[in-house]
Chain A
Amino acid sequence: MRYLPKSETERREMLDTLGLDSIEDLFSHLPEEARLKRPLNIAPGKSEYEIVEYFRARGEETAASYTSFLGAGVYNHYRPVLVDTVVSRGEFLTSYTPYQAEIAQGTLTTIFEFQSMLCQLTGMDVANASMYDGSSAVPEAAMMAVRVTHRNRVLVAKTVHPEYREVLRTYSQHQGMPVDDFGYVDGAGSLDLADLESKIGNDVAAVIIQSPNFFGIVEDVKAAAELAHKHGALLVVAFTEAVSLGLLSPPKEADIVAGELQSFAISPSYGGPYAGIIATKEAYIRQLPGRIVGETKDTHGNRAFCLTLATREQHIRREKATSNICTNQALIALMATVFMSVYGKEGLRELAEQNLAKAHYLAEGLDLQFSAPFFNEFVLRTEPEALNAELLKHKIIGGLPLGRFYPELEGCMLVCATEMSKRAHLDQFKKCAESVVQPALVAPRGGSL
């Protein structure tokens, strides 16, 4: 809880500074009908203790004690206590862009570690110091491909997170970068390579796919890369569930990897702040947006770190920078760095295995929409609203009804299980799912695209 004192004297001072007589004057420009003519409906004069108690009680009435099977780009994973211990240190909290290497070796070291670990996980040569989030990393990767190939059209798989595709369209509309979709195989839920092949041409700068895709399905990155490269396009591989990198082979056939690191100890927090990442091959490093920390030597010959290739950044190149709409999410990225350090290679693999095992335990015996292999999310055929209502009775938040994003998947729900899903909850979910059956008329199996 924050302590925000505001005495009558302070109110007066603020009003005087603004040249106003009363609080009412502050809102005088608003239309009459939009203004509240009575005090807010809050009981006056409660003690601090009562206020804390009040909110604690209200919190218990909400979803705080519920278990969740929601995924779809934001995942419920365990956050090691060490994460907050490290990121709440004042040295990290106060630092932003470490332009002055001589006073920022600590921050620069953590960013260098972050980049190095992400290169290992993605199979790329270089990674930047982070992006806002996965959804903005994807259009940045597309624009990077446009600069590299001197082409301008982008093909994006329908199995890329629908909101990422929306952000891509927002970016593209003023970039002269037309964006077209290509589909997925009806019963499988994986990339429709034939559809991709029919749409690709020598004007395509980038083919964008996601793996595991929005339906949780692991895509054939190699096949997509071969097809893209055959036509001189770059392959961008996006990811939303970073934990999958602990188990899947790195998407090293990609030219650019763009993803979201929320799964690495960044709490869901109603959608942000998160941290994204773009990694690429060394040949494209000069088109990589954002900051890059490099290893160097100080005047005494000691190992040291500094911002490198900063000549293409906005503080130097202004409007001609590689990007003016990205940043270095240093503090949030540090959460991911600490997470990766705590888990290590083996730990991350075990964590990914647990996710895989729990999701597959949950899916067993249920009516799945797609047949292709999945990681920790899958598409369930059911009556989504009815199932979610049933689950809520058991203090379980169910999955995401897909009709909103995919009209052809009305009657389907995206379900996610992680290491946080307890056996009892998994069993309860299965029991509820078996009791709620998808009405046959809503969407026949293998429904059209």
Chain B
Amino acid sequence: MYPDNFRYTKEHEWVSIEGDTGTIGITDHAQHELGDIVYVDLPKVGASVAKGGTIGSVESVKAVSDIYSPVSGDVIEINQALADKPERLNEDPHGDAWLVKVRLTSSDEVKGLLSAEDYRSYIGE
């Protein structure tokens, strides 16, 4: 369920690193806890994000939750498809329904994140 090549946060985001690009999403556990997702608010391309800073929010029928960036960087792409199909976040949170891609400004930050195994034990699976 939780890919080994991803890194995770205790706030339930994941990041996948390829070169200097980080793809960010929320975990399956997060989408399950939120319930039916009805709206996703994402940053603008070009915005700078800091590790731990807010990059948007996810709205379910129960609550609106902020998304915190696992890494620092500049937003280079956002997942436009989620504007019309926010429910994809419930269906494929680790794949199709990624949220943003950032160009990393500090590659060291990734080391401080959780491994898949750490995250699984953190959420009690």
Contacts and interface: CB of A to CB of B under 8 A. Distances in A.
Nearest to B44: A150
Interface in B55-83: 59-64, 66
A77 B76 CA distance: 56
Interface in A281-316: 286, 311-312, 316
Nearest to A311: B64
A320 B44 CA distance: 19
Nearest to A322: B64
A312 B66 CA distance: 11
Interface string B10-47: 00000000000000000000000000000101001001
A316 B44 contact: no
11 contacts: A286-B39, A286-B59, A311-B59, A311-B61, A311-B62, A311-B64, A312-B59, A312-B64, A316-B63, A317-B63, A320-B64
Interface of B: 39, 41, 44, 47, 59-64, 66
Nearest to B59: A311
A150 B62 CA distance: 26
Given A150-B44, A286-B39, A286-B41, A320 B66 contact: yes
B36 to A, nearest CB: 12
A311 B44 contact: no
Nearest to B62: A311
A37 B101 CA distance: 74
Contacts of B59: 286, 311-312
A226 to B, nearest CB: 24
Among B39, B60, B64, B66: residue with most chain A CB under 10 A:
B64
Contacts of A316: 63-64
A309 to B, nearest CB: 9
Given A286-B41, A317-B63, A320-B66, 9 more contacts: A150-B44, A286-B59, A311-B60, A311-B62, A311-B63, A311-B64, A312-B59, A316-B63, A320-B64
Nearest to A149: B44
B44 A317 contact: no
Contacts of B41: 286
Contacts of A320: 64, 66
Contacts of B47: 150
Contacts of A286: 39, 41, 59
A235 B44 CA distance: 21
A214 B47 CA distance: 39
B42 to A, nearest CB: 11
Contacts of A317: 63-64
Contacts of B39: 286
Nearest to A317: B64
Nearest to A313: B64
Contacts of B61: 311
Contacts of A150: 44, 47
Contacts of A312: 59, 64
A316 B60 CA distance: 12
A312 B41 CA distance: 12
A287 to B, nearest CB: 9
A312 B60 CA distance: 11
A339 to B, nearest CB: 35
Nearest to A285: B39
